[in-house]
Amino acid sequence: MPIFSYTVANKEGKKLSGTVEAPDEQTARSELNNLDFSILALEETKEVPKIDNKLTKFVFEAIDKNSKLVSGTIPAENKEDAFKKLQSEYALTVTALWKEKASEEEISKARTEGTKSLQDELVQEKEEEAEKDLKQQKEEQFTRTKIEYILREVHEILQTFDKEIDLEKKAEINKKLNKVLRIKQSKNLTYILTSAKDLLMYIQEQEVQFKEKGNQEKRLQFQIQTKKLLDELNKSSSPKTISEDIISKIENWENAHTKKEENEKPSTMFVSNILGKIKSLFTTRPQFKAIKEQIKVYNHQLWEFAKLYFKEPAPQYKAKVKASLKTIWKARKKAIHSLAQAKKLLKERKKAEKIDENLIASFIEESNSLTGWLLAFYLIYYITSLYLTTKNFGLTEIPQAFFVYDSQIFKYILVIIFLLHATTALKINFFKKSIIASFVLAPIFIFGSIAVLLNF
C-alpha cells in the first residue's frame, strides 16, 4: 500500500509531520481531514519512515471526533507519552494501547483496561454535564427571581410617582417594561439582564423631571428606590464574602465526594467531619443573618444620603437629608444593639446548656460510683454471712442479719442496684457524648426494674 508523508496543523495550530498508509491520495487526505487537521503538505513517498531507536512503537485503537473507529501505530518513549499524543495532538479517544508484537493476553488486557478507562471517562463527562446543568438551572432561577422582584418594584414606583412622570416618558417606560415581560422566560440570561438594566437606567433618568418641578422630597425618594433596584439587578449568585466562598467550596466538595447510597471510605468520612466543623464556624445563624442584612441596608442608605447631602446645594434640601441620616443612624444603632443582645442570649443559653450537661454527667458518674460501692459492700457482706452461717465456729446464736440471702426484698434491691450500675457504666464508658444512648438506656433500666419486681 502506498505511503504518504504529510505536514498538518491541528486545531491548536501546532504543526505535525508523519506518514500515513492509504490506497490513494484522496483517501489519505480524507483520513487526515477526519482527524480535524489542516493539511499543509501531502505527497506520496517511497522512503520507509524512520523510527528513532530510542522510541517504542505502540499499536492503538481509538474513536475519532466523528465516532469512527480508527487504529494505527505511534512511536513514543512510553505508554503514557503515546496516550497523551493521541489525545492532545490527534484528538482521539483512545480505547486500547499496547506495544507492538505484544502477546494475545497483553492485547486482551489492554483492550479491557481501555474499555474501562473509556467508561470512566464517559461517567465523568456525564457527571460534569449534570453539574453544569444544575449550575445553569440555579443561575436561571436566581435571575428569574431577581427579575420578578424588579418588575414588581417598578410597578410600585410607577404607581407612586404617576403624576411626576410625563405621559411620553411613561409610554417609553411601559414599552421597555413590556419587552422585559416578554423575554423573562428566555434562556438568554444576558439579554434579559441587559433589557432590565436598560429599563432601570431609563427610569432613573426621569429624576430630572422632579428637579425641574422643584419636588425635592419626592426626588430623594425616587433616587433611593431606583438605585436600590439597580443594586439588586447587579447582585450575583456567586458568594460575596470570604465566609460564603468557604461554605460554597465545602458544599461543592461534599456533593462531589460524599455518596449517601454507598459506604463512605474512612478517609472521606474523616475529611468530611473536619470540613463540617469548619463550615459550622463560618455559617451565620438565621437569627443573626436577618439583622446583619438589615445593618447592610442601613449602611448603604447612609452612604447614598451622605452623597446626596454634599451633592445638593439647597439648604432646605440639605436639612431634609440630614434628618433622614439621623433617622437611619438611629435605626442602624438599634439593629446593632439587637444583634449584640441576640449573641449575648445565645452565649448564655449555651453556657446554661453546658452547665446542665455537666450536672447530668456528674450525677450519672456519682450514681455509678455509689452503686459500685454498694455492690462491693454486698459481696463482702454476702461472703461473710455465708461463711458464718455454714461453718461451725461454736457460736450458740447467729444474728438474723447474717441470713441476708434469705431476704426477698434484699434480692430485689440488689438486682435493681446491679441494673443501675450496669446502665450508668455503659453510658460513661461507651456512650458518654451520645444523646440517643441516654434516651435508650434510661427506659431499659426502668423496664428491667419493673420486670424484676413482677417476676423475681
Instruction: Assign 359 a pLDDT band (cuts: 50, 70, 90).
Output: low
- Predicted confidence (pLDDT) per residue in 259-276, tens digit: 544 455 666 777 777 777
Complete edge-to-edge strand list for the sheet that includes strand 69-76 = 69-76, 56-63, 93-99
110 and 73: one domain? yes
Q: Tell me how long the chain is.
A: 456
Q: Is residue 304 in some structural domain?
A: no
Q: Which of 97-106, 301-310, 394-403 has the lowest mean pLDDT?
A: 394-403
- Predicted confidence (pLDDT) per residue in 39-64, tens digit: 888 888 776 555 566 788 888 888 87
Angle, vertex CA 301, rays to CA 296 and CA 303, nearest 5? 95
Which residue's entry shows cell 442479719?
401
229 and 137: one domain? yes
404 and 432: one domain? yes
Which is more confident, 251 or 38?
Answer: 38
179 and 216: one domain? yes
138 and 42: one domain? no
Which is more confident, 377 or 236?
Answer: 377
Domains identified in the chain, total number: 4
In this prediction, residue 358 carries a pLDDT of 63
Burial of 351 (0-12, 13-18, 19+ CB in 10 A): exposed
Q: Is residue 294 in some structural domain?
A: no
78 and 178: one domain? no
Is the Cβ–Cβ distance between 74 and 56 less than 8 Å?
Answer: no
Closest by Cα among 346, 213, 88, 81 to 97: 81
85 and 151: one domain? no
The per-residue pLDDT of the chain, averaged, comes to 77
Which of the listed residues 98, 127, 156 is the one where a domain comes to its end?
Answer: 127
Angle, vertex CA 163, rays to CA 316 and CA 204, nearest 5? 70
In this prediction, residue 326 carries a pLDDT of 85
Q: Which of 169-183, 274-288, 412-426 has the lowest mean pLDDT?
A: 274-288
Closest by Cα among 410, 425, 415 to 372: 425
In this prediction, residue 261 carries a pLDDT of 44
363 and 418: one domain? yes
Which is more confident, 285 or 374?
Answer: 374
Domain containing residue 82: 3-127
Q: Is residue 94 in some structural domain?
A: yes
In this prediction, residue 55 carries a pLDDT of 81
Decide if pLDDT at 89 tops 60: yes
Is the Cβ–Cβ distance between 16 and 10 less than 8 Å?
Answer: yes
Q: Percent of the chain scored above 90 by pLDDT?
A: 1
Decide if pLDDT at 346 tops 70: yes
3 state SS of 413:
helix
Which of the listed residues 221, 237, 253 is the one where a domain comes to its end?
Answer: 237
196 and 113: one domain? no
- Predicted confidence (pLDDT) per residue in 96-125, tens digit: 888 888 888 888 888 888 767 766 776 777
Is the Cβ–Cβ distance between 28 and 22 less than 8 Å?
Answer: yes
